[in-house]
Structure 1
Amino acid sequence: MSQSAAPAYPWYFRPLDWLLVGISTLPLTVLYGLARLLYWLMAYVVRYRRRVVLQNLRNSFPEKSAVEIDQIARGFYWHFAQVVVEILKLRTISAAEIRRRAVIENPEVIERFLAENRQVLALGSHAGNWEWILTTGALVFPGRAGGVYKPLTNPFFEAFMLKLRSRMGAEMVPMLSTLRNLIRNRGRGRVLSLLSDQAAGPEDHPYWTNFLHQDTPFYTGADKLAAQLHCAAVFVGIRRVRRGYYRITLTELHDGQTTLPPEEHQLTEAFARLLERDMRATPPDYLWSHRRWKHKREATSHKSQASS
């Protein structure tokens, strides 16, 4: 089954489940108060991945001063604290409230493909509130939205996150089952969300491109899937309008009909450019604690890609 059943977890995790569900029932105004505390702990006490955050920001924005980098870092921690409580709120939030708080401005970009019974790859990133995007998509495109995810090793958090993500009807597809899932649903209009900004390693044979002043590897799955299965593809951008409210914008990358040679990585390159644009526009709203640039291109790989 592509829709993974929530795994069982040891009984001693139940009190944690009750606690998290109880916190989730609190109004968002109260949860944002908790986010203030979480922000203070991450930014000034624990200093959560501060070295990674600052290094990522310095490398990505070499034109900015130390003061500006520090301001962005503090903005990131506040953004991340809000996202944490907003994700937790998904466990109990109503469909009406999520519809009001996260709006897809141009759903017709995807609706056109669904009407033609085409599969759509929705390429997103760890910007804004990425979990609210999937939930919103499940409500806007009922019965036709799914998300690719990497299973967690902890059985409790795996079960908790699966339930949280699928509450509004999203189909959850384990990452290694992506191709099988798309083949099985061929000829059925649906949209499958992929977070395409993960840190691809050498074993993934990534596509390397200059991204925010850095040599950066990207997964090439979208290029291959679009070429092999004639999937359409869209870029999913998200912008916080104000606290707890988001606007999601779709940009067509590929109609699924024209031929895109996968070895040219046109989809991945277009995704990288749009993501770079959005990150420059609102720097604090990206997951800078993610070790996005932990892999370095090998010399042989560099020569091989340059010659191709």
Structure 2
Amino acid sequence: MTDKSKTNNPIVTKENTKFQGRFLHPKHWPLLFAATFLWFISLLPNKVQNVLGRGLGRLVMKIIPKRLKTAQQNLALSFPDKSAAEITALAKENFEYTGLAVIDTANAWFWPDWRIKQNMVIEGQEHIDQAKADGNGMLILGSHFLSLEISARIFGLLRPAYAIYRPNKNPLMEYLQCRGRTLSNKGLFDRRDIKGMLHILDAGEPLWYAPDHDYGPRRSVFVPFFAVEKACTITATTLFSSGNNTKTYPVSSCRLPDGRYQVKVRAPLENFPTGDEVEDAKRCNKECEQSILEQVPQYMWLHRRFKTRPKGEASLYK
């Protein structure tokens, strides 16, 4: 149930996400066909999915070379010690995992629980269990890995959580993403509903949160991210983690070579937050870096992570 006295917007749950007859209108047929195709893909064996996903990634790399350049530039900025050949190889592998991310999303949205459980590897479940036993709100400090959709589904089977999302203007796409993301989790908050998110953390619930993208200069500071000394980083982590009943848990995820998925939950951060937004943002970026270094090609390097620059500084993208 949604506590409307505590939230600005209704929480999206599995119960209030329903298929509607209007989705059968011909204007929605292309998206319905795509969703049906993804469902079919989700039925295939892991080995077949792996081949299809990597092939899709290589195709996308040729279709949108601009994104390949973005990934290469992000990697070159983050790892200046790597050679041009190493950066190119990492970017190409990253695109293969981008193709696999489509497969992973299909699996996250359409696999039954039993198949998810067959294909998940958990490290650090004791931290989830301890947080539940203590009644602590869990701020899940995630990063934008390409396996994000299915890792959230997996986490929900361990302990149903809430997540932050951006509503889609297309009603059918809104239904599909909300249905898929609430299969094993409690609900989705509109990203503007700060009050609601703070309320569920105070109530001892888990909230999935990923502050590692560049969200623009508003409520952000410029702190190091890998080798980039001035990376625009949001400061909301300090607010979300500041509740007396909240602890912050770094979480990473990856696709394993055999097609299974690993979710790793680390111990809650000590002496965090400090109340200093700059120092807290630095700490968050360091935690994200630690997660990314475990599987560099599986991070979302296609995003223009360093697009926002301090006033007067030139763009890092050409």
- TM-score in same-fold range (> 0.5): yes
Counterpart for residue 59 of structure 2: 41
Aligned-residue CA RMSD in angstroms?
2.5
Identical residues among aligned pairs (%): 22
Q: Taking structure 1 as the reference length, what is the TM-score of the superposition?
A: 0.85
| Separation in 1, partners of 2:47, 2:143 | 26
| Separation in 2, partners of 1:186, 1:62 | 39
Report the Cα offset of residue 259 of structure 1: 7.3
Q: Aligned pairs, how many?
A: 294
Q: Taking structure 2 as the reference length, what is the TM-score of the superposition?
A: 0.83
> Do the aligned partners of 2:139 and 2:209 also contact (CA within 8 Å) in 1?
yes
Letter of the 2:305 counterpart: R
- Single out whichever of 162-171 and 276-285 deviates more from structure 2: 276-285
Structure 1 stretches lacking a partner, 5+ long: 301-308
- Single out whichever of 279-288 and 206-215 deviates more from structure 2: 279-288
> Do the aligned partners of 2:138 and 2:201 also contact (CA within 8 Å) in 1?
no
Match of 2:100 among 74, 77, 82: 82
| Separation in 2, partners of 1:253, 1:217 | 24
Counterpart for residue 215 of structure 2: 200
Structure 2 stretches lacking a partner, 5+ long: 1-9, 314-318
Structure 1 segment 50-199 matched on structure 2, within 5 A: 50-141=68-159, 144-183=160-199, 185=200, 188-199=203-214
* Residues 196-234 of structure 1: per-residue CA shift (max 9 Å, x gap): 21212112x213211121111222212112224541111
Structure 1 segment 208-247 matched on structure 2, within 5 A: 208-214=222-228, 215-228=230-243, 230-247=245-262
Q: 1:152 to 1:282 in 2, by over 3 A?
A: same
Report the Cα offset of residue 91 of structure 1: 2.4
Q: 1:65 to 1:35 in 2, by over 3 A?
A: same
Letter of the 1:108 counterpart: E
Secondary structure in structure 2 of the residue aligned to 1:201: coil
Secondary structure in structure 2 of the residue aligned to 1:49: helix
> Do the aligned partners of 2:214 and 2:307 also contact (CA within 8 Å) in 1?
yes
- Single out whichever of 118-127 and 83-92 deviates more from structure 2: 83-92
Counterpart for residue 289 of structure 2: 276
| Separation in 2, partners of 1:233, 1:210 | 20
| Separation in 2, partners of 1:270, 1:80 | 27
> Do the aligned partners of 2:41 and 2:103 also contact (CA within 8 Å) in 1?
no
> Do the aligned partners of 1:253 and 1:267 also contact (CA within 8 Å) in 2?
no
> Do the aligned partners of 1:227 and 1:260 also contact (CA within 8 Å) in 2?
yes
Report the Cα offset of residue 90 of structure 1: 1.9
| Separation in 1, partners of 2:58, 2:71 | 16
Letter of the 2:157 counterpart: L
Q: 1:30 to 1:171 in 2, by over 3 A?
A: same
Secondary structure in structure 2 of the residue aligned to 1:72: helix
Report the Cα offset of residue 153 of structure 1: 2.9
* Residues 13-72 of structure 1: per-residue CA shift (max 9 Å, x gap): 244243333333333333333213312212234436112111111111111111111110
Letter of the 2:89 counterpart: Q
- Alignment of 1:252 onto 2:272: no
* Residues 74-97 of structure 1: per-residue CA shift (max 9 Å, x gap): 110111111211111222212122
Structure 1 segment 2-13 matched on structure 2, within 5 A: 2-3=11-12, 5-6=16-17, 10=23, 11-12=25-26, 13=28
| Separation in 1, partners of 2:53, 2:146 | 15
